[in-house]
Structure formats: structure tokens, C-alpha cells
């Protein structure tokens, strides 16, 4: 059982995957803050949701965030506009794991139209269960700030 709080957010194209991941997070014992969207049938703008999730992380309201749009590209760009955010768009378990180990990513971005739900759950699990390695990576991560 985790005591971590995780924000989830998506646009309309990522809504279905966000809902799947939200349920999985609850099953894993995480406290979930859903920042929307609340409807997959109404077109909305991914920057609004990526930026909101990033804000929840930088304010300390949550520990990390999972964000989803059609491809994960746009929403990750939006999240990375906020200082202190290291959003990683991941397509497999290895990139999800390495985003944490080497880059200390605090936001995981996924594509609702490009990522199978089971793979997305596995990526999310790897992202949440992997710690930052530090050491040789510290100076590089510091340069991201």
C-alpha cells in the first residue's frame, strides 16, 4: 500500500486510457487526484491538462503525475513548460524505468491512441516502482533546471 499521491490528467483522446490507469492506481493503493478531462466525447485542449498536472507536482499537492493525450507528445510538451517538471513520454517498460533511474522524471506521459492499455499499466508500474539512481546522473539532471 502506497502513501503517495498521483495526479492523472488527459485530453479527450487520452480519456479512456486515463480512466484505466486511474483504476489501476487505486488498486495499487495510491491516492489519485483526477484533474480531468471528465468526458472523452468532448474535444478539449491537451495543454490545459498537461500544465495542470505539472502544477500539482510542482506545488507539492502530489508526488508525481501520469498524463495522456492521443500520442502523449503534446501533453508532455505542455507539462515540460513548467519549471521543475521532467515529463517523459514513454513507449515501453524500459524507457519508463530509465526515465526514473537516469532522468528523475516526475511525470509519465503516454499516448491514448498509441499505447495498449496493458502496456501502459506496465509502463506506469515501472515508472512508479523505480527510484532515481543519482550519482553520475545528478549533474545532467541539474542542468535540466
Greater confidence (145 vs 105) lies with 105
At the fourth CATH level, the homologous superfamily of domain 5-144 is: Sugar-phosphate isomerase, RpiB/LacA/LacB (3.40.1400.10)
Q: What is the mean pLDDT of residues 106-124?
A: 98
Residue 60, pLDDT > 90, answer yes
Q: Determine the pLDDT at residue 1.
A: 47
Residue 2 is predicted with a pLDDT of 62
**Which sequence spans correspond to the domains of the chain?**
5-144
Q: Which of 12, 91, 102, 137 is catalytic?
A: 102
Residues 6+ apart with CB under 8 A from 36: 9, 10, 44, 49, 52
- DSSP code, position 136: G
When the pLDDT of each residue in the chain is averaged and rounded to a whole number, the result is 97
Res 5 pLDDT > 80 = yes
Q: Does residue 45 carry a pLDDT above 50?
A: yes
pLDDT of 3 reads 80
Q: Is a pLDDT exceeding 90 seen at residue 114? A: yes
Ranges of H-type helices in the chain:
15-27, 46-58, 73-79, 93-101, 117-129, 138-144
At 70-105, the pLDDT tens digits run 999 999 999 999 999 999 999 999 999 999 999 999
In this structure, what C-alpha cell is assigned to residue 36? Answer: 480531468
Whether 10 and 22 have beta carbons less than 8 Å apart is answered as: no
12 catalytic, yes or no?
no
Report the predicted TM-score, pTM, of the whole model to 2 decimal places: 0.97
Q: Which of 12, 69, 90, 123 is catalytic?
A: 69
137 among known catalytic residues: no
Amino acid at each position: 500500500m502506497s502513501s503517495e499521491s498521483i495526479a492523472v490528467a488527459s485530453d479527450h483522446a487520452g480519456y479512456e486510457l486515463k480512466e484505466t490507469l486511474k483504476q489501476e492506481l487505486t488498486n495499487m493503493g495510491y491516492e489519485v487526484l483526477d484533474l480531468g478531462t471528465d468526458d472523452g466525447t468532448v474535444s478539449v485542449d491537451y495543454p490545459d491538462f498537461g500544465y495542470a498536472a505539472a502544477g500539482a507536482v510542482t506545488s507539492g499537492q502530489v508526488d508525481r503525475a501520469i498524463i495522456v493525450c492521443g500520442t502523449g507528445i503534446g501533453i508532455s510538451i505542455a507539462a515540460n513548460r513548467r519549471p521543475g517538471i521532467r515529463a517523459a513520454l514513454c513507449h515501453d517498460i524500459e524507457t519508463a524505468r530509465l526515465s526514473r533511474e537516469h532522468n528523475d522524471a516526475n511525470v509519465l506521459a503516454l499516448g491514448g491512441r498509441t499505447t495498449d492499455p496493458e502496456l501502459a499499466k506496465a509502463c506506469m508500474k515501472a515508472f512508479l516502482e523505480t527510484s532515481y539512481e543519482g550519482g553520475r546522473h545528478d549533474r545532467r539532471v541539474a542542468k535540466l533546471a
